[in-house]
Structure 1
């Protein structure tokens, strides 16, 4: 019997084991997934929790209920991977052998990596995050009681999960404050380590006025070095004072990746960007947010790359060349407030373009345009996630980006 071991039962890990269970049949294959928690979180929903758009119960489900009954689920923390011996060691001393390993443990926010972020009792008092379930719920309470001052939305560094989420939060916060009649009493600031809120030329040309129109101040090229009192201080000694800080801490891969000698400085596994095969080992793959591919760390990337990976893995395990090549395809709905959203669709080589998606002219979604249909598409995705994506059911959308419906200015 051959053994496929998957570390992590998040988005990518759950899709992988459910898709491959239908392709790699028992008794020839044993498929095992290791996951420390018993709850699966719909992470895109974290954005909506602070504004009361989603209830907490809408973004959680039991992990076991989402994984095929014929896949072994092991509860445990990974201590390290021993690639030389083809086994994974858990923190409780258990040892799990494998023939093929898939690392899908994602990335997590690390506020401990920024001096001052966790100091002085400010964490989740005046400094909040929304990239965790608990953080999003704490921020909901903070927004309910916030009655004016300077609200700063801040990104520590790239890459992060869902790179557009901080911008979405800023736009939703603007709409939320207007509904509460507080917008004139709040200075809203968006601080980013990037050159601007929109970094791709075509998107910047079409959307560049969006923040100006909402009187949102952008602080570009801001690389935070530390937090002192209620001030962000950059490496070039610029300062941004805040009354309420909503920050995206540094995102890093799991610590066991570093202990195992498998990752880069952010604990991300270097892989071939088309096949997800680790550059250092011929029987280890890294999927979802856990790898270093140069595209967004988003659920759509996990989905499209897993579609390519599943076919490739069947070929690879049979001793034949992998014929699929992931092209970096990503698409993201971008909430802009007031019941509207944008949609972007891009890959390694093509930046977001205007047009319609997925059907030329008919859409129904519009690319780089604010529409109510795009907003409802984002909300509908939650049902798709639980009922279609995670179970590994086919979706009639190509894994590779299509130019159909796109317009090149």
Structure 2
């Protein structure tokens, strides 16, 4: 019996395991490996510092969301031996596989930037890409008297690349609602030329920054953080002082990826961007944040990848050519504060465009437009995540990006 081993029981790994179980039935053994049994709803980390969620809202047992017949192994991954088709676990066990799926995502690494994790870490320097960081930031914001708030992206790529933008917008609204916005200067610091990677959306978001009096410091490649003077210093010696720094550290894949010879310099797994098959080992696939495709590292991307990669795994097990190709489809809700949000939908080749989503003419969601419905859609996603997405049930949107409902060249569809 074929054995599919999935490293990582987060969003991507859980979806693939459940969809494979439905597809293969009892025709294959499926094993998910993760270091613990705590599944974290990562999109909620952005909202936790502002009091929308508490930690208990975001955590569930992993095994609750894995279908019967999927084995969960709790252990650290020590190394993968691709030639032997084996996974060595930290407790000494070995798992043999016919197909391996790398779904261990990425993690923030403040240690990769000199000074970032030194004396001011979680005192005046915070992240919100971890549960501990989001809780610490919530506590810091609760009695912060005001000053210069710098929202900073160290380097790309990062998981959920719109999240730091959302944090800036939410901070603007948070301080305004507390009647202290005039005591807070907000500056957004990024290595990009503008707020976002896609030019159309970047221009739109830049105008929103200007309307909200959020400063923008582009093309900023950080060299170090000076914890004594509370200053970001760039490679070209520009300096950005802060009273409170909310940073997105370097995001890196799991260390075992490097030890296994499967990754690049950031421990992302190089794959064919259509099939998601490893370029180093044909029996290995990488999905979600763990791979190196030029698409957003977001839960929606993992969802849109999952159907195709499951079909490709099945074809690979049966010795058939891989014909299902991912098109880079991503969509992201962008919280903009005061109960409103934006929605963007794009792929490898198509910019975010205005229009309606997911259905032509009726929407009900608007693209590249602030609406209450988009904000409610983001909040509703928590329910969909636990009850539809993770179990691998069908969603009412196609995996491949559709142009239906989008406005192009002045034409409304």
> Smaller-chain TM-score range?
over 0.9
- 1:64 alignment counterpart: 63
For residues 276 and 198 of structure 2, what CA distance do their matches in structure 1 show?
25
- 1:219 alignment counterpart: 217
State the Cα deviation string for residues 20-59 of structure 1 (Å, max 9, x = none).
1111122x31110100011000000000000001122211
1:315, distance to aligned residue in structure 2 (A) = 2.1
For residues 181 and 202 of structure 1, what CA distance do their matches in structure 2 show?
33
For residues 68 and 233 of structure 2, what CA distance do their matches in structure 1 show?
51
- 2:81 alignment counterpart: 82
Give SS of 1:15's match: helix
1:205, distance to aligned residue in structure 2 (A) = 4.0
1:317, distance to aligned residue in structure 2 (A) = 1.6
For residues 174 and 298 of structure 1, what CA distance do their matches in structure 2 show?
24
State the Cα deviation string for residues 63-82 of structure 1 (Å, max 9, x = none).
11111121111010001001
Q: Where does 1:91-240 land on structure 2 (aligned, <5 Å)?
A: 91-120=90-119, 122-228=120-226, 229=228, 230-240=230-240
For residues 206 and 360 of structure 2, what CA distance do their matches in structure 1 show?
25
TM-score (structure 1 length as normaliser): 0.98
Kept in 1, the 8 Å contact 2:341–2:372? The answer is: yes
For residues 99 and 249 of structure 2, what CA distance do their matches in structure 1 show?
32
For residues 154 and 198 of structure 1, what CA distance do their matches in structure 2 show?
13
- 1:393 alignment counterpart: 393
State the Cα deviation string for residues 73-99 of structure 1 (Å, max 9, x = none).
101000100111110001111111111
Give SS of 1:169's match: helix
For residues 233 and 364 of structure 2, what CA distance do their matches in structure 1 show?
44
- 2:31 alignment counterpart: 32
1:231, distance to aligned residue in structure 2 (A) = 0.5
Q: Where does 1:329-408 land on structure 2 (aligned, <5 Å)?
A: 329-408=329-408
For residues 232 and 262 of structure 1, what CA distance do their matches in structure 2 show?
33
Give SS of 1:265's match: coil
- 1:5 alignment counterpart: 5
For residues 204 and 88 of structure 1, what CA distance do their matches in structure 2 show?
42
1:396, distance to aligned residue in structure 2 (A) = 2.3
State the Cα deviation string for residues 130-188 of structure 1 (Å, max 9, x = none).
00011101100101111111000000000000000000000000000001111100110
For residues 245 and 203 of structure 2, what CA distance do their matches in structure 1 show?
29
1:307, distance to aligned residue in structure 2 (A) = 1.4
- 1:42 alignment counterpart: 41
For residues 248 and 148 of structure 2, what CA distance do their matches in structure 1 show?
17
State the Cα deviation string for residues 374-407 of structure 1 (Å, max 9, x = none).
0000100110000000001111211000000101
User: How many residue pairs align between the two structures?
Assistant: 407
Kept in 1, the 8 Å contact 2:149–2:184? The answer is: yes
What RMSD in Å do the two structures reach over aligned CA positions?
Answer: 0.9
Unaligned runs of 5+ in 1: none
For residues 201 and 270 of structure 1, what CA distance do their matches in structure 2 show?
26
Query: In terms of mean alpha carbon deviation, does 155-164 or 61-70 score higher?
Result: 61-70
- 2:313 alignment counterpart: 313
Give SS of 2:24's match: coil
1:199, distance to aligned residue in structure 2 (A) = 4.1
- 2:253 alignment counterpart: 253
Give SS of 1:379's match: helix
Kept in 1, the 8 Å contact 2:194–2:206? The answer is: no
Kept in 1, the 8 Å contact 2:195–2:205? The answer is: no
For residues 344 and 57 of structure 2, what CA distance do their matches in structure 1 show?
25
For residues 297 and 311 of structure 2, what CA distance do their matches in structure 1 show?
21
Query: In terms of mean alpha carbon deviation, does 37-46 or 191-200 score higher?
Result: 191-200
TM-score (structure 2 length as normaliser): 0.97
State the Cα deviation string for residues 170-217 of structure 1 (Å, max 9, x = none).
000000000111110011010001001134332244343100111110
For residues 117 and 208 of structure 1, what CA distance do their matches in structure 2 show?
27
Unaligned runs of 5+ in 2: none
